[in-house]
Structure 1
Amino acid sequence: MIYSITGKLIGIEKGAAIIETGGVGYLIKIPTNLSDRLPSIGSELKFYTHHIVREDLEALYGFLNREERSLFGLLITVSGVGPKAATAIMSNFALEMITSAIVKGNSEILASAPGVGKKTAEKICIELREKLAKTLGVKPSEMQQAIPNEKGIVNDAVAALMTLGYSPKEAREAIFNSKIDLEKAGSVEEIIKSSLRALV
């Protein structure tokens, strides 16, 4: 198991970074939103890595801190969640947003990430919420019970905000930061109004 790699950043690709150390270049897959946090080419950089070896796959997934690496490791323990889905979630939301959504059972937030369906998002919340709650020191009484939202209005709200010129990431973060109870929201309009207030 390769836990971390420290070396010179020699290249950045979509969803990947290349680190050279000891004369060897390593292609490390990363969440797409991590690219903006990387230093300039030629800088020294340390990635905390998760090494996956399977019959059909061998890859290194890299993160800038132990917490993000640990979250990735937890996500892929959920049945039906592979590295691709875990990376999609981490590419669209900050660490705090993901952990909060899981602990509070807000599966709609996770389901709005590309390639992550409603059932998968609900499974993530069910299987990981207690593990994360213990890690974060949250009492069971403080956790909101997950209530599946069959209307999928979060996805509709994201699409509506995108038509107003916001990126998918900005739209999702605005919805999350609006503090609206997504499971009780009665309409797309209600979510949009609350989200726009969060964007001001």
Structure 2
Amino acid sequence: MSCAYSHITCAPWGTIMIASVRGVVQAIETGYLVLEIGGMGVRVAVPESIFDETVVIGVELQLWTQLILRQDSLSLYGFSDNEQLHLFDLLLGAPGVGPKLAMAIVSGMSVDGLRHAITSDQPELLSRVPGVGMKTAQKISFYLKDKIDDKQISAEDGTFNTVDAELLEALTTLGYSVVEAQKAVRDTDVNSSDDLEDRIVLALRYLSK
């Protein structure tokens, strides 16, 4: 069976597997985008990082997707790249992690930040994500430990270590997301001072730009 639409990937025997979608942004909602695809408005759950990019109504967008079937619902989850999708899929296999929590983690941490938290055995970084307690973070870290390759971590994120944990906690307490806090730690010279207050000031200057 062949697909009627170029944006849908079909498996043999007529089974439709939606591996990716491409369409025009029709509406922007909290945690969702509505894409116009083949004359239909398709609602796709997306991570917060999507909204940091140039996503506006009327722009064409391609997302890597996973379709999740439940007894009472059919939900499509979309990501800006295959790496995000892969981590989302891995998280779904962890004990006690469903689509909502997996999406919260992908939204709350960068891909490299999540990899580093797992490979460096720092579940406390995962626990900074809203909705993820320390016990859940430890379970996720243990489950993913042998499934994520630390060689995939970029050189920039390789410098992220436990010294920055206090700064991360301070920034997230002030209302910044884990992604924003990690970016501030990575992109500013916060380690030029050993004083936490000085480091917070440097990070806040960066985040206020």
Match status 1:112 vs 2:121: no
Per-residue CA deviations over 1:29-70 (Å, capped at 9, x if unaligned) read 011231121433212211100111112432111001111111
Partner of 2:59: 43
Distance 1:128 1:104 in 2: 12
Whether 1:129 and 2:162 are equivalent positions in the alignment is: no
CA distance in 2, matches of 1:106, 1:190: 22
Residues 39, 197 of structure 1: alpha-carbon distance in 2 compared, 3 angstrom cutoff: closer
**Equivalent of residue 167 in structure 1, options 176, 196, 199:** 176
Displacement after TM superposition at 1:71 (Å)? 0.8
Runs (5+) with no aligned partner, structure 2: 1-16, 159-164
What stretches of structure 1 of length at least 5 have no aligned partner? 143-151, 181-188
Q: Match of 1:157, as an amino acid?
A: A
* 1-structure distance, mates of 2:135, 2:196: 22
Q: Quick check: 2:128–2:172 contact (8 Å CA) kept in 1?
A: no
Distance 2:140 2:83 in 1: 17
Measure the CA separation in 2 of the matches of 1:107 and 1:179: 25
Aligned to 1:17: 33
Which residue of 1 is the match for residue 161 of structure 2? none
TM-score, length of structure 2 as denominator length? 0.71
Contact 2:189 2:202 (8 Å CA) reproduced: no
Aligned residue identity for 1:73: D
Instruction: Please report the RMSD computed on the Cα atoms of aligned residues, expressed in angstroms.
Output: 3.2
TM-score normalised by structure 1 residue count: 0.74
Question: Higher RCO, 1 or 2 (CA under 8 Å, sep at least 6)?
Answer: 1
Do the aligned partners of 1:47 and 1:65 also contact (CA within 8 Å) in 2? yes
Contact 1:5–1:48, Cα closer than 8 Å, also in 2: yes
Distance 1:5 1:158, change over 3 A: same
From 83, 101, 111, give the equivalent of 2:117.
Answer: 101
Letter of the 1:167 counterpart: Y
Question: Superposition pairs for residues 1-200 of structure 1, below 5 Å?
Answer: 1-133=17-149, 136=152, 157-158=170-171, 160=173, 162=174, 167-169=176-178, 170-171=180-181, 173-174=183-184, 194=199, 196=201
Percent same amino acid at aligned positions?
A: 34
How many correspondences in the alignment? 177
